[in-house]
Amino acid sequence: MKFTQQIAFILIIGFVSLSQTYAQTLNAFKESYSYESKKEYKKAIAALSKANDDSYEVNLRQGWLHYLAGLLTESVNYYQKAITQRPTSIEARLGYALPASALNNWDNVTEQYQAVLRLDPNNTVTNYRVGLMYYYRKEYKTAESYFQKVLKLYPFDHDSLLMLGWTKYMLGQGNEARVLFNRALLNTPTDSSATQGLAALK
């Protein structure tokens, strides 16, 4: 067999092997989605394990499935693997924050959110969540700046209108709070929290 034929043969074998590996991984993902749709999360985890793959995609999804299954420490570990594999991944950092929050590891949550904002300063999900963290810490001035950033980009965002309304209320800025609660009601007329806020201002 000539040298070029040997090379061609090796490439074909490699291609077939990669195709088989991909097919196995794809089937593992399909099976895991099927179990997830039935809320059989541990079976979804087992199905995905058949991928025999340590890729970013597998680690990210295992992080999510372990979170749904209540296996929080394991979930954090999978998300950390995904972050290590793709350090600029925002989705992996937001995913990490879910089990870390459930574990009350707020320092780790804050670290991931700040990393997201360094990558994407206008990330509205993260700005809103950081605003919530500061609000519940009663650091209202800091919370205010994060909610305002979201509303600059999404002026009719219900959740941010509502939370900025309550933040203004806590800061003693009643007139501004009233405007925000009324705008929140324009978005969701049945919102009880905005109604309570307006009642508290009377």
Each domain of the chain, given as residue ranges in start order, spans: 26-120, 122-202
Please give the pLDDT value at position 41: 98
pLDDT in tens, 111-154: 999 999 999 999 999 999 999 999 999 999 999 999 999 999 99
Instruction: With residue 63 as reference, give the H or E element that holds it.
Output: helix 56-68
Please give the pLDDT value at position 19: 55
Task: Collect all residues with Cβ–Cβ distance below 8 Å to 95 and sequence separation of at least 6.
Answer: 60, 63, 64, 67, 79, 82
Sign of CA dihedral 66, 71, 76, 77: negative
Tell which CATH classification among 1.10.3720.10, 1.10.260.40, 1.20.140.10, 1.25.40.10 matches the domain 26-120: 1.25.40.10
Confirm whether 26-120 and 122-202 share one CATH topology: yes
Between the alpha carbon of residue 43 and those of residues 12, 53, 62, 197, the distances in Å are 35, 17, 12, 45
| Residues of the chain falling short of pLDDT 70 | 1-20
Please give the pLDDT value at position 22: 85
Hey, what CATH class is 122-202 in? mainly alpha
